[in-house]
Amino acid sequence: MPKYVQADKIEDGMILYEDLTNRQGYLMLSKGMVLGIKHKKVFQTWNIQGVLVESEEDDLEIDPQFVNDAKIYLESLMSWQCSLPLELDLFDTAIKNIAKNEQNIAK
């Protein structure tokens, strides 16, 4: 599960989630690279505001009740069924996004 981190919040040991390429498509840093404090300066030079890094934050952190409520809520707004892989990924991502937001509000 990727997490967006602002360039100035990079910490030692964070792992780059995806290849970092410039606008011309040239590879700047490879996916899986272990980042460190020194990269803050590098990103500043390259004018990169933030990157996606691997995150151990998993779905278990979301209370299943919020997940269930989000699923019921979304289904009530749809007159169609998700069946294709992309639709199912969208539906799952939306449920987690709504559940996370609701959980944060409840906190």
Partner 1 sequence: MAKIKDFPTLPTIYTKLVDVMNNPYCTIDDIANVIATDQSSAIKILKISNSAIYGHTKRIKSVSEAVFIIGAREIKAIVLTLAIMKLFEGAKKNENFDPLEFWEFSFAVGSISRNLAINLKLPNPEDLFVAGIIHGIGKLFLIIGIPDLYSNIISASKLKKMDLREVEKLVIGITHSVIAQLLAEKWNLPMDFGILFENLYSGLNRGNFHNYASVVHIGLVSASMLKIGNSCTEIIPALNKDLLAQVDIDPKFFSKNIELIKKEVIEMRMLLSV
Cβ proximity to partner 1: between 33 and 82 the closer is 82
- Distance (Å, rounded) from C-alpha 77 to C-alpha 95? 13
Cβ proximity to partner 1: between 22 and 65 the closer is 22
Distances in Å between the Cα of 52 and the Cα atoms of 5, 21, 33, 93 are 6, 13, 12, 17
CB of 47 to partner 1, least distance (A): 5
Q: Which two tokens stand for residue 81?
A: 């069924």
DSSP code at position 7: G
Cβ proximity to partner 1: between 12 and 57 the closer is 57
Ramachandran assignment for 15, one of left (phi > 0), alpha (psi -120 to 50 degrees), beta (any other): beta
CB of 62 to partner 1, least distance (A): 14
State the residues that interact with partner 1 by CB under 8 A: 1-4, 18, 22-23, 45-50, 52, 74, 76-80, 83-87, 89-94, 97-98, 101
Instruction: Say which amino acid occupies 67.
Output: V
CB of 77 to partner 1, least distance (A): 5
CB of 72 to partner 1, least distance (A): 14
